[in-house]
């Protein structure tokens, strides 16, 4: 539905992977965006929703924000599945098959709602370990940001896996975790094996979990391909994030720029 001209704020969908640390990080982002005046729908699995209601203060924490709402989606697993430990990676691998059509249906349905209290969703912020929402966003024409819940130092080595393999730095030879790692640009002078994500401690570079995270990470740039204006915004955000990390600070101070970009994208 066309809500242009409405005085209601832009409406953003935040969609985290269901691992607790990812949900926690993206709830903080949701809170900051709500504080910035945006409407936010936070989409989680039924299982995660139950755990949030039982073990967190999410209801009281977001009660002050009338534009915040929790919505749920199926992960396709039985109720008694543990969804933890090694099962996390199984879920990451299978989640897209189950959730992709459900996400598309959810967004299409949301786009048909009236504008009495909230605009339809016009921007998606998805957990950077999931690439299937990028496909959905591009199919229905909604701008999308990929957000990694981990630090820049954690994410960057995944982009460098081919360099590390070519240089023979993974798999590790020997057990010295203090051995230097020289094939991650920008970290050559201080990075050690022990500083790399745990997925790098494999005996075989074809390890499923390493390849899964590597492949999902390399889908992130696709979230910037929708149009030139969005690419310019994403490039500027990436540059500011790098500058903030280099200065020893946090990129969170650029939140106002992110909010402004979302407003501009939602106005089109």
> pLDDT, tens digit, for every residue of 220-248?
776 655 545 545 555 555 565 556 555 44
Q: Are residues 16 and 49 in the same domain?
A: yes
Which of 115, 149, 183 represents a domain boundary (last residue)?
A: 149
- For the question of residue 35 being annotated catalytic, the response is no
Q: Are residues 137 and 155 in the same domain?
A: no
Q: Are residues 70 and 156 in the same domain?
A: no
Total of domains in the chain: 2
- Summary mean pLDDT of the chain: 82
Residue 193 carries which DSSP code? G
CATH of the domain at 130: 3.40.50.2000
69 in any annotated domain: yes
265 in any annotated domain: no
Of all residues in the chain, what percent carry a pLDDT higher than 70? 81
Nearest Cα to 10, choosing from 54, 67, 64? 67
Q: Are residues 144 and 218 in the same domain?
A: no
pLDDT for res 43: 98
Contact between residue 121 and residue 13 where contact means Cβ atoms under 8 Å apart: yes
In whole angstroms, give the CA distance from residue 86 to residue 65. Answer: 36
41 in any annotated domain: yes
pLDDT for res 99: 92
Residue with tokens 């990470």: 217
Cis peptide before 171 (omega within 30 of 0): yes
Q: Are residues 38 and 123 in the same domain?
A: yes
Looking at the DSSP bridge assignments, the partners of residue 14 are 42, 125
| Annotated active-site residue in 11, 22, 39, 49 | 22
Range with lowest mean pLDDT among 10-19, 38-47, 131-140, 159-168: 159-168
Range with lowest mean pLDDT among 125-129, 160-164, 201-205, 236-240: 236-240
- pLDDT digits over 86-126, tens only? 677 777 777 888 899 999 999 999 987 767 788 999 999 99
Contact between residue 118 and residue 66 where contact means Cβ atoms under 8 Å apart: no
- For the question of residue 127 being annotated catalytic, the response is yes
Q: Are residues 168 and 127 in the same domain?
A: no
| Annotated active-site residue in 18, 75, 127, 261 | 127
239 in any annotated domain: no
268 in any annotated domain: no
User: Residue 131 sits in which domain range?
Assistant: 11-149
pLDDT at 193 over 80: yes
Q: Are residues 144 and 156 in the same domain?
A: no
Q: Are residues 167 and 68 in the same domain?
A: no
Q: Are residues 145 and 156 in the same domain?
A: no
70: helix, strand or coil = strand
3-state helix, strand, coil split of the chain in percent (to 5) is 50, 10, 40
Long-range contacts for 159-162 (Cβ within 8 Å, ≥24 apart)?
159/217, 159/218, 160/184, 160/185, 161/205, 161/210, 161/214
Q: Are residues 160 and 214 in the same domain?
A: yes
Task: Return all residues near 227 (Cβ < 8 A) that are at least 6 apart.
Answer: 143
Which of 96, 131, 149 represents a domain boundary (last residue)?
A: 149
Q: Are residues 54 and 131 in the same domain?
A: yes
Long-range contacts for 252-259 (Cβ within 8 Å, ≥24 apart)?
252/32, 255/32, 255/33, 255/36, 256/36, 258/33, 258/145, 259/33, 259/36, 259/37, 259/38
23-32 mean pLDDT: 94
pLDDT for res 254: 60
Q: Are residues 118 and 165 in the same domain?
A: no
161-189 mean pLDDT: 88
Biggest distance spanned by C-alpha atoms of the chain: 64
């Amino acid at each position: 539905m066309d809500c242009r001209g409405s005085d209601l704020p832009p409406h953003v969908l935040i969609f985290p992977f269901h691992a607790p640390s990812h949900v926690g990080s993206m709830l903080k982002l949701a809170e900051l965006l709500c504080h910035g005046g945006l409407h936010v729908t936070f989409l989680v699995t039924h299982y995660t929703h139950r755990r949030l209601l039982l073990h967190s203060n999410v209801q009281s924490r977001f009660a002050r924000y009338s534009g915040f709402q929790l919505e749920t989606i199926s992960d396709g697993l039985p109720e008694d599945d543990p969804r933890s430990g090694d099962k996390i990676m199984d879920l990451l691998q299978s989640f897209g098959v189950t959730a992709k059509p459900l996400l598309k249906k959810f967004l299409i349905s949301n786009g048909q709602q009236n504008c009495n209290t909230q605009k339809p969703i016009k921007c998606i912020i998805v957990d950077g370990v999931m690439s299937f929402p990028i496909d959905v966003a591009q199919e229905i024409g909604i701008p999308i940001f990929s957000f990694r819940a981990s630090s820049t130092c954690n994410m960057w080595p995944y982009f460098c896996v081919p360099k590390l393999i070519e240089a023979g730095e993974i798999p590790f030879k020997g057990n010295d975790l203090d051995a230097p790692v020289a094939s991650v640009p920008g970290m050559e002078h201080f990075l050690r094996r022990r500083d790399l994500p745990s997925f790098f401690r494999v005996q075989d570079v074809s390890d499923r979990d390493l390849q899964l995270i590597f492949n999902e990470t390399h889908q992130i740039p696709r979230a910037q391909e929708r149009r030139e204006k969005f690419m310019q915004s994403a490039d500027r955000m990436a540059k500011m994030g790098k500058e903030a990390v280099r200065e020893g600070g946090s990129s969170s101070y650029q939140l106002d720029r992110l909010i402004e970009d979302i407003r501009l994208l939602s106005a089109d």
